[in-house]
Amino acid sequence: GAPPVRTFADRSKIYMSDLESSLHYILRVEVGKFKVLEGERLRALKNFVSVLAKYYPGQPLGRNFLHSMDVWVPWQQRKSIPYSSLEAALNNRREGAVLPKKLTWVGCQGSEPHFRGFPCSLWILFHSLTVQAAQHNEYLQQKGGKYPQEILQAIRGYVKFFFGCRDCANHFEQMAAASMDQVKSMDEAILWFWNRHNRVNARLAGTASEDPRFPKIQWPPRDLCNPCHNEVEGAPVWNLGAILAFLKSHFSARNMVFNHMG
């Protein structure tokens, strides 16, 4: 037959396939590297699952699944949980079917298998969680409080205790230790992740982890958000108000593509 037409994802969209594949990879691969979950690592897992259950931007089925995991994990009163019993719980959830059997990268598809994929989807998950949490907050008319720290520290704990790229985790922990505690609102949390992600992009530009088809840039580029780019006396500066509005729209549920036949 005819060779398959190679299609490229639309960079202005978020693909649910990437987010679902990130959940699969987190729960089945990264968490599964630990035969027994206990102590600080178990606490980090509980906190992260609880944030996922609250803010994961999925369809109801996916969210029900995360809710039931969120009930299951703390319900295990034991000081330690063998991964095998977590895995059994994953497999037994009726909704477990929402965890895809294989990984399908769409927006995170690299030009070679060793590029992009999971780390890309993890960034997208983190940005999406902070944006969903901000919108949830607005909805509930709740300001400040422990909200930004709940989600920021849960993400920090996941990276510290589970992210398989240990170099990445160490770099991220340095940034978190330097300033994460000072973040006071969900809007600041959204901007914190955007700014730190750009720092990572700057550090990695031109290195071996850069997919030549997806150069590391200071993001978003003009074609995604022109008003985000300002100039003061000829020097480029970001328009933070425009950035925040853009991030809230880019990582919103409305910008997510649900049924991509990847």
CB of 36 to ligand FAD, least distance (A): 25
Question: What is 70-132 written as a DSSP string?
Answer: HHHHHH--SSEEEHHHHHHHHHH-GGGGGS-SS---STT--SSTTSSSHHHHHHHHHHHHHHH
Binding mask 70-109 for ligand FAD (x = CB under 6 A): --------------------------------------x-
Determine, following the binding rule CB under 6 A, whether residue 194 of this chain makes contact with ligand FAD: yes
**Cβ contact 151:134 at 8 Å:** no
Question: What is 126-165 written as a DSSP string?
Answer: HHHHHHHHHHHHHHHT--STTHHHHHHHHHHHHHHHH-S-
Binding test (CB under 6 A) with ligand FAD, winner from 168, 240, 242, 245: 168
Determine, following the binding rule CB under 6 A, whether residue 209 of this chain makes contact with ligand FAD: yes
Interface stretch with ligand FAD, choices 46-54, 75-83, 162-170, 179-187 (CB under 6 A): 162-170
Q: How far apart are CA 140 and CA 254, in angstroms?
A: 19
Distances (CA, A) of 239 to 46, 187, 255: 37, 14, 22
Q: Tell me, rounded to whole angstroms, the distance of Cα 211 from its chain centroid.
A: 19
Determine, following the binding rule CB under 6 A, whether residue 245 of this chain makes contact with ligand FAD: no
Binding test (CB under 6 A) with ligand FAD, winner from 57, 58, 62, 119: 119
Residue 249 is which amino acid?
Answer: S
Determine, following the binding rule CB under 6 A, whether residue 149 of this chain makes contact with ligand FAD: no
Binding mask 30-69 for ligand FAD (x = CB under 6 A): ----------------------------------------
- Site of interaction with ligand FAD (CB under 6 A): 108, 116, 119-120, 122-124, 127, 159, 165, 167-168, 171-172, 194, 197-198, 200-201, 204, 209, 211, 214, 219
